[in-house]
């Protein structure tokens, strides 16, 4: 796949040295971060819905059961903007104005489409769970056909996307480096905690090893 | 302030037992989480921009320097939707369909307005930094008047808002509790790491104690 060509919609307006339009960076950040928000418009009003996002091949997917307002519109093929971002640190400078944040962010544009059909839907649900908790799907009781109606998955060809990354320390005014003021970066991380057993877990069922491989943040 | 009255725009469509419309919950979640996305519409196209958010009194604020496209529109007073959310855990059930996520989320609607005037802007910048890093502002070299032009802060009266919270374990089908399948919650947390000194930090300048009080996540 060729890289994304920025148009006025996706070209970054400020600090373009932080911009990336290559597919590899866009896909890597989406795969790493896993949480996003979906923006859409109904009758001129903007809506933003948080969700989990993942890739299947070059298509972006999200789980829709918590946003039925969006899903009713999606059936008609609405334009959406998906942002996937993670705050990585507070960059504290010697002055307020040079303070900043480190982050990874992708903004992707396209037209949302419902995943229809029990087979396609089950494949997406499996891809979803396998992305976040690799190895987990095959340990579950199989999905029943009628259950598939209760879940909604939305897919989108990424028409355009841009990634933006900031790392490292501040850039203070040269004369400020001599001041007796602390400056540095305070890292912010997503941490996966120790799994907590369901209170009704059947006695003797162990925590599966693959819970160590959760992919988020 | 009275609580938010849900209209068709803000009323939660699904799982309304998770919904909260009281000001206290809405404000508490915004104060706790601190990261959000701002959704807005330009020529029918939705845009979503990640940012840091904070409250001053009952108004919601965000930092805008990374989104000049939005800011040009904001001068004209555009309707926005701000989502502030945090993923708190993966809820792994005995079946794919009952698996879920724990989270805290607020969606707020209003009309964005630029903070104008050096005095008002500096007060907002101070409130911003003091919210995330309490005690830090007074250690910095003072802001110069001409610097205030380089930063953009946007404020919004919250016209409507809803909060949504999910905690706890899965609700599996009754017969599935007898299966030899692990179920439980894998917590997801935002963790503040050890501060890293700027490579050009003046020798002898210590890390301030107040860096232990960073407020995020």
Q: What is the pLDDT of residues A153-178, one digit of tens each?
A: 999 999 999 999 999 999 999 999 99
Contact A141 B196 (CB under 8 A): no
Q: Do the beta carbons of residue A95 and residue B145 sit within 8 Å?
A: no
Q: Do the beta carbons of residue A142 and residue A55 sit within 8 Å?
A: no
Q: What pLDDT sits at residue A66?
A: 45
CATH topology of domain B16-170+178-189: Pnp Oxidase; Chain A (2.30.110)
Q: Does A215 touch chain B (CB under 8 A)?
A: no
Q: Chain B: give the shortest CA distance to residue A61, in Å.
A: 16
Question: Which of A69-78, A113-122, A152-161 shows the lowest per-residue confidence on average (mean pLDDT)?
Answer: A69-78
| Cα nearest neighbour of A150 on chain B | B97
Q: Chain A: give the shortest CA distance to residue B148, in Å.
A: 8
pLDDT tier at A4 (50, 70, 90 boundaries)?
Answer: confident
Residues B101-116: tens digit of each pLDDT: 999 999 999 999 999 8
Q: Which long-range contacts (CB under 8 A, 24 or more apart) does B205-213 make?
A: B205/A180, B205/A181, B205/A182, B206/A182, B207/A182, B207/A184, B208/A182, B208/B135, B208/B136, B208/B139, B210/B133, B210/B134, B210/B135, B210/B136, B211/A186, B211/B133, B211/B136, B213/B133, B213/B134, B213/B135
Residues B25-59: tens digit of each pLDDT: 999 999 999 999 999 999 899 999 999 999 999 99
Contact A97 B151 (CB under 8 A): yes
The phi and psi torsions of A30 (rounded to 5 degrees) equal -60, -45
Which residues in chain A have their CB less than 8 angstroms from residue B198's CB?
Answer: 169-170, 183-185
Whether the per-residue pLDDT at A24 is higher than 80: the answer is: yes
Residue of higher predicted confidence among B71 and A214: A214
Report the pLDDT averaged over residues B125-147.
Answer: 93
Specify the pTM.
Answer: 0.93
Report the C-alpha gap between B13 and B129 in whole angstroms. Answer: 36
| Contact map slice: A 162-191 vs B, CB within 8 A | 164, 169-170, 172, 176-191
Residue with tokens 């909260």: B20
Q: How far is CA A106 from the centre of its chain?
A: 8
| Contact map slice: B 134-153 vs A, CB within 8 A | 136-137, 139-141, 143, 147, 150-151
Strands (E) located in B64-121:
79-92, 100-114
Whether the per-residue pLDDT at B74 is higher than 50: the answer is: yes
CATH topology of domain A16-169: Pnp Oxidase; Chain A (2.30.110)
- Domain spans of chain B, in order of start: 16-170+178-189
Q: What pLDDT sits at residue B14?
A: 63
Contact A182 B139 (CB under 8 A): yes
From the number of C-beta atoms within 10 Å of its C-beta (0-12, 13-18, 19+), residue B79 rates as middle
């Amino acid at each position: 796949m060729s890289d994304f060509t920025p148009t006025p919609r996706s070209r970054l307006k400020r600090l373009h040295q932080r911009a990336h339009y290559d597919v590899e960076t866009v896909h890597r950040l989406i795969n790493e971060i896993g949480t996003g928000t979906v923006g859409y418009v109904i009758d001129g009003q903007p809506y933003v819905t948080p969700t989990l996002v993942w890739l299947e091949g070059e298509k972006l997917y999200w789980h829709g059961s918590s946003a039925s307002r969006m899903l009713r519109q999606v059936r008609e093929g609405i334009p959406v903007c998906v942002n996937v971002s993670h705050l990585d640190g507070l960059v504290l400078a010697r002055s307020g104005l040079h303070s900043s944040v480190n982050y990874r962010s992708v903004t992707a544009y396209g037209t949302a489409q419902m995943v229809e059909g029990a087979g396609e839907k089950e494949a997406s649900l499996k891809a979803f769970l396998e992305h976040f908790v690799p190895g987990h799907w095959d340990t579950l009781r199989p999905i029943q056909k009628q259950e598939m109606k209760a879940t909604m998955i939305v897919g989108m060809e990424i028409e355009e996307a841009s990634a933006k990354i900031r790392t490292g320390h501040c850039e203070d005014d040269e004369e400020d480096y001599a001041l007796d003021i602390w400056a540095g970066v305070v890292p912010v991380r997503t941490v996966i905690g120790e799994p907590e057993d369901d209170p009704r877990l059947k006695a003797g069922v162990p925590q599966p090893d693959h819970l160590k491989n959760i992919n988020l943040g």
